Amino acid sequence: MKSPVPGYLSRVLASSSASSGGAVADYIPELAGADPDHAAIALATVDGTVYAQGDADLAFSIQSMSKPFTYALALSDRGIDGVGERVGVEPSGEAFNEISLEPDTGRPRNPMINAGAIATHGLVSASSPEERLERVVSWYSRFAGRRLDIDEQVARSELGEGHRNLAFGHLLRSFGIIDGDPVPVVEGYIRQCAVSVTVEDLALMAATLANGGVHPRSGERLLDPKLVRHVLSVMMSCGMYDAAGDWLTTVGIPSKSGVSGGIVGVLPGQVGLAVFSPRLDRHGNSVRGVTMMERLSEDMNLHLMDAARPARSAIRDVRRVEIHGEETTAYVLHGDLVFSSVESLIRRLVEDPPTTRCVVFDVDRVDEVDDVARRMAVEAARSLIDDGHELALADRNGVLGESGLPASTAD
Ligand code: GLU
């Protein structure tokens, strides 16, 4: 059987070709030479399958799509509070290269604008600028699942014109946001932006975030789930330059764009996405890239605010069974146990309590149980025991783990 996914992606790519507006970024001389008609799309699943169409082998510089990944590394090194002392998490509503520093502290508003990204680069722990850059490049490589390298031509080209970023560096130094000489920090930031990637690399990098920080192919944990959540939140609110609010309402996928023409998007638990086409709109976002992401979000129901299906009730069935000759009420549960599904179970137990002394919770058909649901289920079980019931658990797959409840001998 043939998978319908590649055909679908190539239709998305083709349908975006009507969006021919915009212009290639030219403030970095090397980017001005990009072929405006190049376009590519890739989707990586959380189990490591990558589908790609168009100019999928074409390498381009990662530019601002590097920012969330460096932010992730700085967070791993210093923790949320350590980074938060120097870089905020508020959308600036301004262009990527605006100053956007808090008036009193000089703290950049967020790590997705240049000032914040430069400060973030400086927060990566290292004993020298070279070591810092190497840590950053190897970090991206681990997310991509292959060694990535810096495109020296792009780096040189931007270093020669990096006056504005250098100015940010000096300003940040004057506020004490950067320690030591700011010039190597800005140079390191510019070089991080020149790392060469394909849409497949970006989709896998994104899929690692979608997979809660575990690389879909190697199974290596790269980032703590709490930090993944933090990075994705900042991508959602600040990732699309000054079009972030518009992006949230229309596409609804935490994303980051770069002036080379790429957009990388993460749908938690589902997929990593990457699109590429060099012509940019006035915000600096790829025109065809935005069209492709809008279409993917719409067709595949990927808007984050859509994704939360109302949780089903946890109860699949309530049966009367006989166990060891004693009449027993069996609550057969199913699906994922989360707060709302367990709450509906508890409500049922409160409003319509079991009339038999023996009660069984059958969780053999339950897929996952989150922490709050586990705690609530255990509390509910204890309270049934306090009311004089004898309780047992049918949990062949051990989804409730060490609940402290007795296991049922019933089948
Ligand atoms: N290296 C670019 C700069 O600092 C990145 C900008 C971007 O992609 O938004 O200007």
The answer to whether 196 and 59 have CB atoms below 8 angstroms apart is yes
Domain assignment present for residue 310? The answer is no
Nearest 5°: the CA angle 198, 202, 205 is: 140
Q: 326 is written with which tokens?
A: 């004693």
Instruction: Calculate how far, in angstroms, residue 62's C-alpha sits from the geometric centre of ligand 1.
Output: 9
Residues 354 and 276 placed together within one structural domain of the fold: no
DSSP characters for 92-105?
--S-TTS--B-TTT
Instruction: Calculate how far, in angstroms, residue 114's C-alpha sits from the geometric centre of ligand 1.
Output: 7
Residues 192 and 109 placed together within one structural domain of the fold: yes
pLDDT at residue 406, rounded to an integer: 54
Residues 201 and 77 placed together within one structural domain of the fold: yes
Residues 259 and 322 placed together within one structural domain of the fold: no
Q: Residues enclosing ligand 1, CB less than 6 A? A: 63-64, 96-97, 114, 158, 165, 190, 193, 258-259, 284
Q: Which atom of ligand 1 is nearest to the CA of 241?
A: 9
Instruction: Calculate how far, in angstroms, residue 15's C-alpha sits from the geometric centre of ligand 1.
Output: 28
**Where a domain ends, among 259, 277, 300?**
300
- In Å, how far are 38, 52, 70, 202, 369 from 57, measured between CA atoms? 11, 9, 24, 12, 41
Pocket residue to mutate for ligand 1, from 114, 151, 196, most atoms within 8 A of Cβ: 114
- In Å, how far are 17, 87, 293, 394 from 287, measured between CA atoms? 10, 29, 10, 54
**Where a domain ends, among 266, 300, 334?**
300
pLDDT at residue 411, rounded to an integer: 46
Residues 203 and 103 placed together within one structural domain of the fold: yes
Instruction: Calculate how far, in angstroms, residue 64's C-alpha sits from the geometric centre of ligand 1.
Output: 5
When divided into structural domains, the chain yields a total of 2
Domain assignment present for residue 403? The answer is no
The answer to whether 264 and 274 have CB atoms below 8 angstroms apart is yes
> Which CATH number do you get for residue 340?
3.30.750.24
Residues 26 and 105 placed together within one structural domain of the fold: yes
Residues 324 and 272 placed together within one structural domain of the fold: no
Residues 36 and 133 placed together within one structural domain of the fold: yes
251 is catalytic: no
Domain assignment present for residue 192? The answer is yes
Q: Which residues contact 302 (CB under 8 A, 6 or more apart)?
A: 252, 253, 267, 270, 271, 296
Nearest 5°: the CA angle 114, 116, 119 is: 110
- Specify whether the backbone of 268 is left (phi greater than 0), alpha (psi in -120 to 50) or beta: beta
pLDDT at residue 410, rounded to an integer: 45
Residues 60 and 170 placed together within one structural domain of the fold: yes
Residues 210 and 338 placed together within one structural domain of the fold: no
* CA-wise closest residue to 58 among 44, 29, 38, 33: 38
Domain assignment present for residue 407? The answer is no
Domain assignment present for residue 410? The answer is no
Instruction: Calculate how far, in angstroms, residue 115's C-alpha sits from the geometric centre of ligand 1.
Output: 10
Q: How many helices (H) and strands (E) does the chain have?
A: 15, 13
> Which CATH number do you get for residue 284?
3.40.710.10
Q: 390 is written with which tokens?
A: 């004898």
The answer to whether 193 and 63 have CB atoms below 8 angstroms apart is yes
Q: Work out the burial of residue 189: count CB atoms within 10 Å of its CB; fewer than 13 is exposed, 13-18 middle, 19 or more buried.
A: buried
* CA-wise closest residue to 56 among 206, 276, 291: 276
What is the domain extent for residue 335? 315-394
Residues 74 and 33 placed together within one structural domain of the fold: yes
Please give the DSSP secondary-structure letter assigned to residue 243: G
196 is catalytic: no
229-259 CB burial, b ≥16 within 10 A, e <16: ebbbebbbbbbbbbbbeebbeebbbbbbbbb
pLDDT at residue 371, rounded to an integer: 86
Q: Which atom of ligand 1 is nearest to the CA of 96?
A: 9
Q: Which atom of ligand 1 is nearest to the CA of 284?
A: 9
- Terminus-to-terminus CA distance in the chain, angstroms? 39
The answer to whether 165 and 115 have CB atoms below 8 angstroms apart is no
Instruction: Calculate how far, in angstroms, residue 304's C-alpha sits from the geometric centre of ligand 1.
Output: 27
Residue pLDDT tens, the chain, 411 long: 667 889 999 999 999 998 889 999 988 888 998 999 999 999 999 989 999 999 999 999 999 999 999 999 999 999 999 999 999 999 887 777 787 788 889 999 999 999 999 999 999 999 999 999 999 999 999 999 999 999 999 999 999 989 999 999 999 999 999 999 999 999 999 999 999 999 999 999 999 999 999 999 999 999 999 999 999 999 999 998 778 888 999 999 999 999 999 999 999 988 999 999 999 999 899 999 999 999 999 988 888 887 556 567 889 999 999 999 999 999 999 988 888 788 888 889 999 999 999 999 999 999 888 888 888 888 888 899 999 999 999 999 888 876 666 554 444
Domain assignment present for residue 164? The answer is yes
For the CA atoms of 155, 236, 73, 278, the dihedral, rounded to the nearest 10 degrees, stands at -20
The residue from 237, 241, 286, 331 that is catalytic is: 241
Domain assignment present for residue 181? The answer is yes
Rounded CA Rg of the chain: 25
67 is catalytic: yes
Instruction: Supply the residue whose CA is at minimum distance from atom 4 of ligand 1.
Output: 114
Q: Work out the burial of residue 72: count CB atoms within 10 Å of its CB; fewer than 13 is exposed, 13-18 middle, 19 or more buried.
A: buried
Instruction: Supply the residue whose CA is at minimum distance from atom 2 of ligand 1.
Output: 63
Domain assignment present for residue 183? The answer is yes
Residues 30 and 100 placed together within one structural domain of the fold: yes
Pocket residue to mutate for ligand 1, from 26, 28, 154, 156, most atoms within 8 A of Cβ: 28
The distance between the two most distant Cα atoms of the chain, rounded to a whole number of Å, is 85
The residue from 214, 259, 266, 342 that is catalytic is: 259
